[in-house]
Amino acid sequence: MTKTLKAEDKIKEAARSLFIEKGYEATRTRDIAEKSGINLALLNYYFKSKSQLFEMIMLETFQHFMKGVLSTLNDPNTSLTEKLEQFVDSYIDMLMSQPNLPYFIIGELKNKPGHLLEIIQQKETILQSVFFQQLRAKMPDTSPQASMQILVNLTSLTIFPFLAKPMIKGISHMSDPEFKKMMLERKKLIPKWIKMILDN
Amino acid sequence: MTKTLKAEDKIKEAARSLFIEKGYEATRTRDIAEKSGINLALLNYYFKSKSQLFEMIMLETFQHFMKGVLSTLNDPNTSLTEKLEQFVDSYIDMLMSQPNLPYFIIGELKNKPGHLLEIIQQKETILQSVFFQQLRAKMPDTSPQASMQILVNLTSLTIFPFLAKPMIKGISHMSDPEFKKMMLERKKLIPKWIKMILDN
DNA sequence: GTCTATATTCCGATAGAC
DNA sequence: GTCTATCGGAATATAGAC
C-alpha cells in the first residue's frame, strides 16, 4: 500500500508527518527527502519550495480536521446529547493516536490566521450546523453568544488536556498509562458536565 | 527606565519578546541584536550561544508563571470559591495582555518536557496547595484523581479559548472587541460552571 | 522523472581592533 | 565592553547529466 505510492505522494506523506511532529521551522527538507526515500531535488521539482509544500499540507490537514468536526456536528439523526458524546468520544480517540495534531493546528493557526479563515467561513457551516440549531432550541432565552460559549467549553475540555499533557503529568506525577486512563474517564465526564451547564 | 538597562538586560528583554512571539526556531539572533539596539557579537559575549540564552529565558518565564499560579492557589486567607474567582480573573487579564504566552509555554513544554519537570515538581507545591486541600475537603468521597480533573477543567476553560482565538473568531465572525467581551464574560461564567461541577 | 553535484543564501559564532 | 568584519557550517534551491 505505502510502497506503491508515487514519489510525489511519498514526499507529501513524509512532509506531513514531519511538519506535524516538529513544525515548519524545525523541519529540514533533507529530512523529508530521507524519510520519503526519494531525492531532495524531487521535492523542489514537484512542489517548487518548502513553503509551498507546507502550505498545501496545512490546507489539506485543516480541511480534513474541519470535515471531521462537521460530520459529527451536522448529523441530523442524532440528539444533542448523542452529539456531545460522539464528539468527545471520537476526538479523544483521535487525540490519543495523533497527539501532535493539536499543537500543529493551534500553532499554525496563530501564525497564518488569514489563509484559514476562508476554510472556516465557507458557507458558515458550523454556526448553521444541526448541533447549533439544537443548542439554540435548548437555550431559547439566552443570547446567540451563549451557544458559542458552550462550543468553546466543549472543545476546551476535550482538547486542552492534550496540549497541557506535559504539565499535567508533571504536576500530578502521572505515568503515560495513568494519563490515558484519565482521558478515557473524561469521555464520560465531559458530556455530563456540558449537560449540567446547559441545564443550569 | 528601559533606556537605562545594561546591554546584557537589553538583549535579554529583546530575546524574551521575540522568543515568546515567534518561538525558538523562528527567532534569529540578528533580530534579537537589532531589536535590543546592541551588537550581535555581544549576544555571544554575554550568553555564549542562542540556545543558552533561550534556556535561561524559558526557565525564568516558566518559573514566573508557576509562581503566579501558586500565589493564588496557595493563599490561606481565601475560600475555594474566592480562589476560583481570583484564578480566572487574574489569568484572563494576563492572557489578554500577553496573548502569545500560552503558545510559548505549551509549545516549549512539548519540546523539552525534561527540564521543566524539575520546576513543576519542586516540593510538589501544587498538589499540596491550599487549593487542593480545599478541593479534597469538598469532595471527600471521590478519588484523588477527581480533584485533578477539576484543576484540568479550570485551566482548560480559562486558557484554551485564547489558544483557539483565531478559530473562534473565524467560526463566529467575531471582531477583536467582541472576542474580548466574550472572555470578560467568561470571568463570571467559569467559576459558576466549576462550582456546578463540584456540587454535582 | 530521477539523480549527483553545486550554487546560493542565511545564520550562528568568533577573531581581533578599539 | 563594544564594535566591524568575517568565518564556517547548514539549509534551501537549482543546474545539468542520465
A140-186 pLDDT per residue, tens: 888 889 999 999 999 999 999 999 999 999 999 999 999 999 999 99
What's the confidence (pLDDT) of residue A82?
A: 98
What's the confidence (pLDDT) of residue A3?
A: 55
Separation of alpha carbons B27 and A131, rounded Å: 41
The residues, ordered by sequence, that sit 6+ positions from A78 with a Cβ below 8 Å of its Cβ are: A86
Alpha-carbon distance values, B2 to B16, B75, B124 (Å): 14, 33, 36
Footprint of strand C on the protein (CB under 7 A): A 6-8, 38-42, 45; B 27-30, 40-41, 44, 48-51
What's the confidence (pLDDT) of residue A136?
A: 95
Separation of alpha carbons B8 and B67, rounded Å: 24
Contact A90, A146 (CB under 8 A): no
Instruction: Kindly report the pTM of this predicted structure.
Output: 0.96
Query: Is B152–A164 a contact, with Cβ atoms under 8 angstroms apart?
Result: yes
Contact A126, A73 (CB under 8 A): yes
Determine the distance in angstroms separating the CA of B71 from the nearest CA of chain A, rounded to an integer: 16
Q: Please report which residue ranges of chain A form alpha helices under DSSP H.
A: 7-22, 29-36, 40-47, 50-73, 80-97, 101-111, 113-121, 130-138, 144-163, 165-172, 176-199
Look at A121 and B164; give whichever has higher pLDDT: B164
Interface membership of B65 toward A (CB under 8 Å): no
Per-residue model confidence as pLDDT tens digits over A53-87: 999 999 999 999 999 999 999 999 999 999 999 99
Per-residue model confidence as pLDDT tens digits over B12-71: 999 999 999 999 999 999 999 999 999 999 999 999 999 999 999 999 999 999 999 999
B5 touches strand D (CB under 7 A): no
Separation of alpha carbons B153 and A186, rounded Å: 10
Residue of least CA–C1' distance to D1: B42
Taking residues B161-188, report their average pLDDT.
Answer: 96
Query: Is A185–B153 a contact, with Cβ atoms under 8 angstroms apart?
Result: no
The residues, ordered by sequence, that sit 6+ positions from B88 with a Cβ below 8 Å of its Cβ are: B154, B158, B186, B187, B190, B191
Contact A170, B148 (CB under 8 A): no
Contact B34, B85 (CB under 8 A): no
Separation of alpha carbons B127 and B59, rounded Å: 21
- Scanning A95-134 for CB atoms below 8 A from B yields 103, 106-107, 109-110, 113, 116-117, 120-121, 124, 126-127
Per-residue model confidence as pLDDT tens digits over A91-135: 999 999 999 999 999 998 898 877 777 777 676 689 999 999 999
What's the confidence (pLDDT) of residue A4?
A: 72
Q: Which three cell numbers stand for residue A173?
A: 506525577
Q: Please report which residue ranges of chain B form alpha helices under DSSP H.
A: 7-22, 29-36, 40-47, 50-73, 80-97, 101-111, 113-121, 130-138, 144-163, 165-172, 176-198
Separation of alpha carbons B73 and B199, rounded Å: 20
For A157, the closest of B156, B163, B169 (CB atoms) is: B156
pLDDT at B3 over 60: no
Give the DSSP letter string of B97-132.
Answer: H-TTHHHHHHHHHHH-HHHHHHHHHGGGTTTTSHHH
Query: Is B152–A163 a contact, with Cβ atoms under 8 angstroms apart?
Result: no
As ranges, strand C nucleotides with an atom below 7 A of a protein CB are: 1-5, 10-16
pLDDT at A36 over 90: yes
